[in-house]
A and B are shown apart, each in its own frame.
Chain A
């Protein structure tokens, strides 16, 4: 499925000053029984937002009216670690989040983000901490994929890294599978022919 084209997003950022926010926190496993990918925003950070009786947990950042649907999340290290569930990303999308800033990410989560039009931005810890402070003050964050810049009120623009082909795919809303099939089918064919020679046991036996 093509990702939503991404150019620039602007909005508030929710600061989550905590390391190791895993995908079980972002999207608790019991909601994985839902097979739809739309409408998952209401389950994002569910057990942090809501008490067992369904009431909102006071003081939790996403329960503050200003930060309920943050465009950006500024989190501690190892954000999105743990389970590979792509629902964690779909839930963030449902919440309206299009970029996450952290000193490091769970690697599968990071790939899943790029497949869905959420920009994972890796910055040094001190910088993330400064951004969390600005986020808490209600600063407006702009993530510009064209220029690869993060712009925050009261701060010099910050350049971030993103793999070149992912950036291009996101800017154009290209579907990665289509792109691969269109551009690399011949290479895949020849790889398979080669592997059939070198590792025949990975392929069906040729009819005698």
Chain B
């Protein structure tokens, strides 16, 4: 029964999967360290599932890396209902889907994260996130929701405040 998932075709080099992969993004902009937001996917239609994997993400100032979804009106940067649990602590944010607690600078502790986005219905999107830091602190687990006005067409990786620049890491999105 589980071979159900196999043999449905995929982009060359990605194995047999239903996922379509976006480009691997160098968050540092080839070392320029000058970019505050990267569009990972655009022109989407009829998508039900998105996953974003970030490796060694880092910023040049205290801020929080955030995933933003967008529709024809642009990217949404408010009204997210995001909760994060880390060890015995927790936090809440409305500025994006996050995988780490707010107010903690990541410039000295590059981290990795998986953002899993699911379309529920009527442009309601649910996010489940998992994050970790190379400094060995506890795994972060997150859950969030966001309702768009119209169909999701694009996603970006940016920050909650929108001011810090990426100075480390790569990110890639896949969708189906």
Q: Do A and B bind each other?
A: no
B residues adjacent to A (C-beta < 8 A): none
